[in-house]
Amino acid sequence: MATDKRTTFGIIGLGYVGLPLGVEAAKAGIHVLGFDVKESVVEGVNAGRSHIQDVESEDVAALRKQGLLEATTDMARLTECDVVSICVPTPLSKTRDPDVSFILAASQAVAAGLRPGQLVILESTTYPGTTREILLPTLEEGGLRVGKDFHLCFSPERVDPGNPTWTTKNTPKVVGGITAECTQAGARFLERFLDTIVPVSSAEAAELTKILENTFRAVNIGLVNETALISERLGVDVWEVIDAAATKPFGFMKFTPGPGLGGHCIPVDPHYLSWKMRTLNYKTRFIELASEINAEMPIFVADKVRDALNKNRKSVNGSRVLVLGVAYKRDIDDVRESPALDVIRLLEADGAHVSYHDPYVPRVLEDGTELASVELTAAALGDADAVVILTDHTAFDYDWIVDHARVLIDARHAVPRAGREVGTGWVVKS
């Protein structure tokens, strides 16, 4: 592998992971060649535009001008790359089995032009064993041998969209190789443009590290969501309880309840491990239970809307419901696995006329139908039979929303406690 500034870094997949990674490498003077199957993405990058919220178009344009960043759909150009990072999607099938077809296609493209000295890094989140069981055999089909002719590592992405503090550059980067030499090669390259590298003993250790991180969050969110259901039955304000518990300086980490899990990682990643362990005749009980609880939260929120309407002698059928926020978390434009879409789907199934406003998501495709964000006005709030806060964007003026909504359900605890008129739970006004 080349070790000077002439290194060409190929990145397959220019999405939420690949483009930020490429920009950081290019800022360090490494020539980055990005690959994507979408012509619009490639054309945008080559024109100096970013399609990722966390990457400024000014940075892309500057790097293009310096000749450090380019994009292509031509996978044959992988032969130009000294290092290749695979950052493709790893979705779940309808039966919650891992879909590694994108990884397999990427590995086959790399294998077609694999040459001695190349370093290949898989970044896509997947189950332990993927790097060794899928990538390695594919890459060795041409006769080159890992650890001798080329290096192969797994280094999980740790992207947190919308986080201004922890970015691709300063978030510690775990890397584990098929051999010790592979790990060393991966660490040497990544430390050229990332602040902190954390080597581990194997690709499997790195793969399980990523799954543990997101399973930890999924299980703890499941715990706090169940606590919310318990608190509701006890007539206790769950957020008051959580805030009080968070004053303990040791042994407690604050998680908060909400309408469900969203994003590509937390709702999906634990199921990679569940699937893998089923092949080894082991049931991941914590993961399954947490998933079950978290999946029930959109139903719980829809029930809260139904209860609030009932108090006003209205049925869900025929009611106008305005949803505030459809992104899976605040201040981003990502709707992947967003629980807000599940809540909308449930309310529409009961006959509600649902509209939404989200300053970050102008349009969204829901069950084959495109919905457009409506303007947030006092009239829109007042005309709605119920308003539901599903994403707590900081751009929302919550006091103003409370003043103009007739019925308000807050699934994110965005409205200050002092602004609540009804009870101690999820309904602010009814």
Share of the chain above pLDDT 70, in %: 96
Assess whether the region 8-201 and the region 217-429 belong to the same CATH fold: yes
Q: Give the whole-angstrom CA distance, residue 284 versus residue 288.
A: 6
Rounded to whole angstroms, how far apart are CA atoms 414 and 429? Answer: 13
**What is the Cβ-side half-sphere exposure of residue 275, based on CA atoms within 13 angstroms?**
21
The pLDDT value recorded for residue 92 is: 79
**Paired tokens of 240:** 């008051």
Q: 8-201 is classed in which CATH architecture?
A: 3-Layer(aba) Sandwich (3.40)
Residue 244: strand, helix, or coil: helix
Give the single-character DSSP code of 67.
Answer: T
Query: How far is Cα 366 from Cα 345, in angstroms, rounded to an integer?
Result: 8
Q: Locate 113 and state its tokens.
A: 């032009």
Query: Which of 255, 336, 253 is CA-nearest to residue 53?
Result: 336
Name the CATH architecture for the domain at 217-429.
3-Layer(aba) Sandwich (3.40)
User: In the 8-state DSSP scheme, what is residue 30?
Assistant: -
Q: How far apart are CA 90 and CA 100, in angstroms?
A: 6
pTM value is 0.89
| pLDDT tens digits along 367-409 | 777 899 999 999 999 999 999 999 999 999 999 999 999 999 9
CA distance 224 to 192: 40
Q: How far apart are CA 328 and CA 338, in angstroms?
A: 4
Q: Which two tokens stand for residue 132?
A: 């060794």
Q: Which of 87, 153, 182, 265 is catalytic?
A: 265
| Mean pLDDT value of segment 248-273 | 89
Q: Are strands 197-199 and 173-177 parallel, antiparallel or unpaired?
A: parallel
In whole angstroms, what is the distance from residue 25 CA to residue 23 CA? Answer: 5
Can you point out the beta strands (E) in 358-407?
363-366, 369-372, 386-389
Model confidence at 4: pLDDT above 60: no
Distance CA 224, CA 333 (A): 25
CA distance 166 to 31: 24
Per domain, the residue ranges of the chain are 8-201, 217-429
The pLDDT of residue 423 is above 90: no
What are the pLDDT digits (tens) for 112-144?
999 999 999 999 999 999 999 999 999 999 999
- What SS3 class is residue 406? coil
Specify the amino acid at residue 308. Answer: A
Q: What is the separation of C-alpha 74 from the centre of its chain, rounded to a whole number of angstroms? A: 27
Residues pairing with 364 in the sheet: 371
Q: Are 107 and 139 in contact (CB under 8 A)?
A: yes
- Using pLDDT thresholds of 50, 70 and 90, give the confidence band for residue 63: very high
Contact 391, 328 (CB under 8 A): yes
Euclidean distance between CA atoms 49 and 51, whole angstroms: 7
**In this model, does residue 108 exceed pLDDT 90?**
yes
For residue 81, indicate whether it is catalytic. Answer: no
8 close to 31: Cβ distance less than 8 angstroms:
yes
Q: Are 121 and 131 in contact (CB under 8 A)?
A: no
Q: Over the stretch 263-295, which tens digit does the pLDDT of each residue have?
A: 777 778 888 889 899 999 999 999 999 999 999
